[in-house]
Structure 1
Amino acid sequence: MIPRFPRGVRLHHDQARERWVVMAPERMFVPDETALEVLRLVDGARDLEDIIDALAAKFDAPREVIATDVRAMVDDLVARGAITP
């Protein structure tokens, strides 16, 4: 699976409020720090396994722990319409 932002959805840094938001038509949400780490890696080119590998390396954490958390988070982000598989 290669996660990507659907048409009209983007990750945006709100400089006035100094926070990252996911902007979509007629809605937005503020990702927590963990979701933000995943969303920053969503580029439409990396597949989910590449994202998991990058996060496991960045945080020096066991890949299987990162994989479980990232898959659950991606499922939630897909359900919210923030990303599409």
Structure 2
Amino acid sequence: MATTQGVNVLRYSALVAGLVYGVYHQSSITSAAKRAEAQHEYARQERLIEQAKAEWKKKTTPKDAQSSGVITDPEDSRFDLEAYLKLKAGEN
């Protein structure tokens, strides 16, 4: 009878240990999947931000600067007189 009790203790101990390991393993798999999904979402948002910045820059850049790269509007704060004069000298 003593051996039967010892075997039952070992069986139930193994069962409990297996259940604990299963719960731990499942939680680690779930957390890894959530981390990967969060990284994927962050990368997608970075791409959207870069696209928005590029579109905004294309939208706000004056038409003159888009074709030659030089801002020809003297009222613009980024106006460069030297670059403008070189552009006009090259056209002649």
TM-score in same-fold range (> 0.5): no
| TM-score range for the pair, normalised by the shorter chain length | under 0.3
Q: Which one has a larger percent strand, Structure 1 or Structure 2?
A: 1
User: Which of 1 and 2 has greater Rg?
Assistant: 2
The alignment's TM-score, normalised by the length of structure 1, stands at: 0.23
